[in-house]
Every structure is written in structure tokens, then in C-alpha cells.
Amino acid sequence: MAGNEDDQARFRRVVLPHLSDAYALARWIVGNATDAEDVVQDACLRAFRGINGFAGGNARAWLLTITRHAAFTWLGKNRPAAMVGVDDLEEVERKELDRGLPMEGRETPEAALIAKADANRLEAAIAQLPVPFREALVLRDVQGLEYREIAEVIKAPIGTVMSRLARARNRLIAGIAAQEKVGEGVGKT
């Protein structure tokens, strides 16, 4: 069947089922719905042009890889400050590690407090994560990809996926605790 279907049919079979995944990733990377739509349209055109290069396998990871690339192109053009180099980031992390265990001195809220975080605060906290952490977290915890799929999309070893995800979650947990404190302060005064 694959032999005689035309590009359009192939595009529809391979790409369309994963359109909302592409849209979700784009939205989380560029930060708003309107620009995400442009990014997804760009990604879909690239996917369409390259549809014959798709060798089968994981169609979702394939489309997400293209979408991520399109989103980074958009960021580079429109939000260059958001493009934290991964090398810079790892360097910052390493220094934090050298100064002492990263877990010490940071907020360790009760799990019950985390469970109460509302959607807006959660979204704001995720939006504040540096892009390499944010994309790992979104791909895993919002979109439910497995580590090996994330590794395929972000072109990094599984060990890197694991450590970025852990750091993203740790920052998020600390962020929720901090917001919670601010919220309490406002409530009291």
C-alpha cells in the first residue's frame, strides 16, 4: 500500500495523527499559541517536502524532531535571548554542583503542596525553565514520550535526557514552593 500512495496521502497518514503533539511542543517552546501555529505550519511544510525521506518507524518522534527544529529557528530569529546554549547551561549546572549538593538549601515542599499547584502557576513555572530543561519536561510529563523517544527528538544520549528531566523537575518543584510562599505572603497582608 505504501508503494502507490501519493505524497499527500502519505503526509496525511504519517503526519496528521501527530499534529497536536507538534502543536503542543511548539507552543511550549515559543511560548504562545499564535507563533506556535506558524511554527507548526512551517514544520508541516518541511515534513511534507521530506515525506519520502521518512523511512518508517516512529512517526511522532520524526515530526517532533522537525517541529523542534522549526521552533528553534523561530526562537533564533525572534527571541535570541531564549536560546541558552546547552554548553553554557551545563557549565552553570556544574558550578552549582561544585559549590555543594544542589538539593541542599533549596525548597523541599510537601508533596501535598505540589499536588495543589494550579494550572496557571504551573504553566508559568514551566515557561520560566531554560529551553533545554523545558523541552525535556514537556516531552515527558505533558506529552508522555519515553526516554529513548525524547533522546531521538532532542538528539542527545538517554543519560542526558534523564539528567535534564531531573533538573527540570527539581527547578519546577522549587519554583512551586517559592510561588506558594509569595501567595501566602499576599494572602496574609
Site for another protein, rule CB under 8 A: 1, 6-8, 11-13, 16-24, 27, 33, 37, 40-41, 44-45, 48-49, 60, 97, 103, 108-109, 111-112, 114-119, 122-123, 126, 140-143, 146-147, 157, 159, 162-163, 165-166, 169, 172-173, 176
Residue matched to cell numbers 502557576:
121
Q: Which amino acid, 155? A: K
Cβ 99 to another protein shortest distance, Å: 15
The C-alpha cell at 87 is 554548553
Contact 106, 90 (CB under 8 A): no
**Which C-beta is closer to another protein: that of 79 or that of 169?**
169
Instruction: Report the chain's C-alpha Rg in angstroms.
Output: 19
Give the separation between CA 121 and CA 144, rounded to whole angstroms. Answer: 21
**Which C-beta is closer to another protein: that of 80 or that of 105?**
105
Cβ 80 to another protein shortest distance, Å: 26
Cβ 60 to another protein shortest distance, Å: 7
C-alpha 170 chain-centroid distance: 15
Q: Which amino acid, 56? A: G
Cβ 25 to another protein shortest distance, Å: 10
